[in-house]
Amino acid sequence: MRIIMAVLLWMGAGGAWAAPLDTVFANIDGGTIEMSDFRGKPVLVVNTASQCGFTYQYDGLQALYDAYRDRGLVVLAVPSDDFNQELASAEAVKEFCALNFALDLPMADVSRVKGADAHPFYRAVRAETGFVPRWNFNKVLIAPDGAVAGSWGSNVKPRSPKITRQIEAMLP
C-alpha cells in the first residue's frame, strides 16, 4: 500500500515526487492556502479538533504564532474529524475558534489527515517520513527548504522547547 501511495504522489506531482510545500489546502475562510507561498519559512502544521481534550492547545498555537510570526513562522491549523471529535461544519469550527480562542492564525477547511483519503500534505509527509497523525493536535514542522524537520504527538505542547528550539534555529 505504501508503494502505491508513493507512486500516486509521484504521478500527482507531474512526474516529480510531491513534497509537503507542493500541496494546497482549502481555506476555512474560502479560497485556498498555497503551501508553496510559505517556502523559505518554517511552517508548523497541526491537525486540530474542537471537541478534543487537547483543544486547549489552540491557546499555545496562537501564542507560538504571536511570538514568532514577525520573524517568519507560519502556524497552520488543519481541523479534522478523522478521530470523531470535530464539529459538523467548517462554519461551526471557525465560530468555535473565534469565540473561544480568538485565533487569527491560518486555518484550513476540515480535512482528512490519515488513511487513503488523507489530504495530499499528509500523504506527502507520510511518504517522506512514515509519520501519520495518531490523534488530534499532532504537529509537523516543515523547514524553510520544504523538508519535514520534525513531528510530535498530542502530548507535546506547541510551546515545548522540543518545538521552539527547532523553530528558533530556522528563523532570522
Q: Are 144 and 40 in contact (CB under 8 A)?
A: yes
Residues 6+ apart with CB under 8 A from 155: none
Residue 116 to residue 126: CA distance in whole angstroms: 11
Cell of 42: 518554517
Among residues 45, 52, 74, 87, the one annotated as catalytic is 52
Nearest to 75 by CA among 27, 139, 122, 21: 139
Catalytic (active site) residue 52? yes
Beta-bridge mates of residue 148: 142
Residues 6+ apart with CB under 8 A from 99: none
Q: Which residues are catalytic?
A: 52
